[in-house]
Each structure stands twice: as structure tokens, then as C-alpha cells.
Amino acid sequence: MTRVVGSFLAALRAPDLGGDAVSRPIAVTAATPLAWWRRPPMLVAVTVTWWLARQSPAHIQSVLTVLRRGARPATHAQAGKAKNDVLATSVQCNGDGCMQCSLATALLCRLRGRWPTWCTGVRTQPFGAHAWVQVDGRSVAEPHPDDYYRPMHIVPPLRERPAR
């Protein structure tokens, strides 16, 4: 039995992490706790995200395309504050939940009348997928350089109409 478990874990070993992909440690970032009256919008965003993250990529993109209507483009500071608020509210978003975190950040920005660019993408060496938000081509609070992942699905903010 020990040989079977050992070979199973060896098969899951991630070469770029140097450890078992199943049991690798994840550092949870410490976020400032939010006052109780500021939590409801974050809880709404995280709850909707729980459902949305389980949908197909095409469905996620179509839902986000509808939700971005009427929102002004977010600034880098506004998107960063939304991400920090999501991280302070959701344990799932603090770990490996990049899809949930990026969706919740975009939805929270939308609840505040703003919209960042929501992205999913891949890298090839070694293969990995990621979801993130960005503003003006710059990733928001990400540990990787802006060009580390190649975007595959993008939902940018709608441009404001010029004043007449």
C-alpha cells in the first residue's frame, strides 16, 4: 500500500514547485479585517462568484460582458482596494482560488460602479493557467510580471462615450 501511495504522489509531483502538488503549502496573506457594515457587498460578490466560477468559460465571459454595462473603467487603486477587500472576506480567494478571487474582485468593482479588465490566460513553460484583473494593461496585486501569462479570455471595460 505504501508503494502505491508513494508512486501516486510521485506522479503528482510538480517540477516547478519542488513538492507534492496535492500537499504543497499555501501562504495566506494577512488582510486587515473589515468592519461588519462593510462586509455585505463583499459577501454578495463572493457568493455570486461561487456559482459563476463553476460555469463554462463562454458562459462566464457572456455574464461578465453583460455585467460590465454601465460601469466606468476602474483605476488601479480602486481595483487594488476591491481585491484587498475580497481577500479580507474570503478564505477561498486567499489560497489557490485565482478564478474566484478575480471574479469576486471584478464583481465588487461592479457593485461600486467600476469595471477592471478581467482576464484568464496560460503560460507554457511549465504549463499553468491563471485568472486575474488588470487596469491599463497592468496586473492588480499579482506576484508575476504583467506578461507572464498569455491572455485567452478578456472582458475589458466599455469605453465611455465622448461628450457631445
Across the strands, what pairs with 91?
Answer: none
pLDDT of residue 152: 92
* Average pLDDT, 10 consecutive residues per value, the chain (164 residues): 34 36 44 72 86 92 94 94 88 79 94 95 90 92 88 87 51
pLDDT of residue 96: 74
pLDDT of residue 21: 36
Which residues, at least 6 apart from 114, have a Cβ–Cβ distance to it below 8 Å? 71, 72, 73, 74, 75, 78, 79, 82, 157
pLDDT of residue 164: 53
pTM (2 decimals)?
A: 0.76
pLDDT of residue 145: 87
- Determine the distance from the C-alpha atom of residue 18 to the mean position of all C-alpha atoms in its chain, rounded to a whole number: 24
H-helix or E-strand containing 73?
strand 72-73
Which residues, at least 6 apart from 154, have a Cβ–Cβ distance to it below 8 Å? 117, 118, 119
pLDDT of residue 26: 45
pLDDT of residue 23: 35
